[in-house]
Chains A and B, each alone.
Chain A
């Protein structure tokens, strides 16, 4: 009650100018977030112009193209078009796998860093973020060099005698997976680190005092306590992985095509179908929003 009271006092003090103070924020959100999305939404319902651009004529053709196959000239009886659904499904699986992998590696890493002495923590954090001073494109290309047929990874494995023939990693889902994992790992480590750093380790002692073993303490006490950090990390890895196009473009092949590449092609590449690209993006956005909505629902249920 006291907090609400003091909050009211502050807003009263600033009441005359409050809207003006918030103007930069509203402008930023409006121009850089809402306007582009609205533009995409409108474009997705327009007719395509050959080689890019749109004709201002309302149509559902882009969405229709996503879901139905009406033959080469669009005059056949519609059947389900699996191409794009498959790409979306593959993207969901790849993004989920990348998130899981980042979580499996990122959680212990974050835990390790957060339990170092305060003076060395910043050094460890710096080490984690060092590769991110390099452009994502360069990093993804260097990953390609690392895992190619006669690259260092295969050389090392062959040299150690673990394998007889070089691993064919390039152009596979595994290569894309590695690329995504490498690209987004810090987005998992940093929020979990922040949560673990605030974790009160006497809770673990209380667990041990009350007869819980190590794994039970981790599962029933530590993970629930740092859950907000885990969820933030998962969202920060999952969302960009879902729309990634550099890793699938550079490390993958035709069979590893993902949503990001599909959308990219509609605007930059040969396909040049802006309404279809916009529709694909809107479908992706809808999927992400539904996922976040479920998460928010689950959160509020837990609060009660």
Chain B
């Protein structure tokens, strides 16, 4: 990380609204050129944090650094960051060109420079023929692009995006994901992207900060937060998972955090601990197993976990099976449909259930 400069540094930032704690003290760094996502349910503090970086809210304590310069109490119009607002907040009485040029005009650019930059921006977002339209004459997707062009026109060091895709319909949203990602790579601007949509976060981000109740639960790459969730909240919020109550029976002291856990229903299972704190014998927690990490086999004599198929749901690419283990535990699994009928099971079939130890995550909180 030393070679890449830090774009935004959150240092012990907390924000209270009266009695309500929007953000508990949090600290982390966002690297230059990074597509960084703040992901969490509504009310988790992600938008508040974004508004603090933009300057719309002051911190209760702590500071924000932008390229190592402290931003505390600098008003929004003096911060070299720009925002794409959730509902775009396009100026309704101005044309597309004037919306995009507004920030440049305020920065005192010359007429010619503004015109050149606006031309360049409308080309980037492919709105050339709409340059003289008013926002009300554009579709939702087009308005979204104007908001993006307007925020990127002043060449900000950091672009803040507050749920910019949430007002679009599904098809357009999926298309804009790819466009946003491409635009970020092309321009090299640091993106801080707020969303409650885990799929959006997984597909676009370099790194994700998963937030809940004003706290950062985990920061990592999309595959890290999905494959190696640090807490029960992350495991449940991102994707689907099986959560089983369990406790540690033997902590192995090797470097891979291997532990043997015992489910409350009695089975002993080799697993991977999410944090070293779980490595004490008797520590309680949850075992998280992603449904697609579970392999089903026709019943054999091995001492794998055995159970019965209770229900099957055809999902197109996958089939979801609900299984009741002989001990009474319910699991659900997802198996990719290969077109090979052999792998299909039906209700009532006896099956063996198996998964790799590093697919079973032991979460102590």
Report yes or no: A206 in contact with B154, Cβ–Cβ below 8 A: no
* Cα A202 to Cα B150 with chains together (Å): 15
Q: Using Cβ atoms and an 8 Å threshold, which residues of chain B touch A220?
A: 102
Report yes or no: A203 in contact with B82, Cβ–Cβ below 8 A: no
Closest Cβ of chain B to A304, distance in Å, is 10
Q: Using Cβ atoms and an 8 Å threshold, which residues of chain A touch B103?
A: 209-211
Chief secondary structure at chain A's binding surface:
helix
Known: A211-B106, A216-B106. A203 touches B77 (CB 8 A): no
A49 within 8 A of B: no
Known: A210-B102, A210-B150, A211-B154. A205 touches B77 (CB 8 A): no
Report yes or no: A208 in contact with B91, Cβ–Cβ below 8 A: no
Number of interface residues of B (CB under 8 A): 25
Report yes or no: B107 in contact with A206, Cβ–Cβ below 8 A: no
Number of interface residues of A (CB under 8 A): 18
A284 within 8 A of B: no
Known: A211-B107, A212-B106. A205 touches B76 (CB 8 A): yes
Report yes or no: A203 in contact with B91, Cβ–Cβ below 8 A: yes
A30 within 8 A of B: no
Q: Using Cβ atoms and an 8 Å threshold, which residues of chain B touch A200?
A: 87, 89
* Cα A294 to Cα B324 with chains together (Å): 79
Per-position 1/0 for B228-257, Cβ under 8 A of A: 000000000000000000000000000000
Report yes or no: A221 in contact with B106, Cβ–Cβ below 8 A: no
B75, B81, B89, B103 — which one has the most chain A CB atoms within 10 A of its CB? B89
Q: Which A266-283 residues sit within 8 Å CB-CB of chain B?
A: none
B93 within 8 A of A: yes
Smallest Cβ-Cβ distance to B107: which chain A residue: A211
Q: Using Cβ atoms and an 8 Å threshold, which residues of chain A touch B75?
A: 208
Closest Cβ of chain A to B338, distance in Å, is 45
Report yes or no: A202 in contact with B89, Cβ–Cβ below 8 A: yes
Closest Cβ of chain B to A203, distance in Å, is 5
Q: Using Cβ atoms and an 8 Å threshold, which residues of chain B touch A209?
A: 54, 76-77, 81-83, 103, 151
Report yes or no: A210 in contact with B154, Cβ–Cβ below 8 A: yes
Indicate which residue in B56, B92, B106 contacts A210 across the interface (CB closer than 8 Å). B106
Per-position 1/0 for B24-36, Cβ under 8 A of A: 0000000000000
Q: Which B40-86 residues sit within 8 Å CB-CB of chain A?
A: 54-56, 75-78, 81-83, 85-86
Can you name 12 A-B residue pairings with CB atoms under 8 Å?
A200-B89, A202-B87, A205-B56, A208-B75, A209-B54, A209-B83, A209-B103, A210-B77, A210-B103, A211-B107, A212-B102, A220-B102
Binding site for A on B (CB under 8 A): 54-56, 75-78, 81-83, 85-87, 89-93, 102-103, 106-107, 150-151, 154
Binding site for B on A (CB under 8 A): 200, 202-203, 205-213, 216, 220-221, 224-225, 227
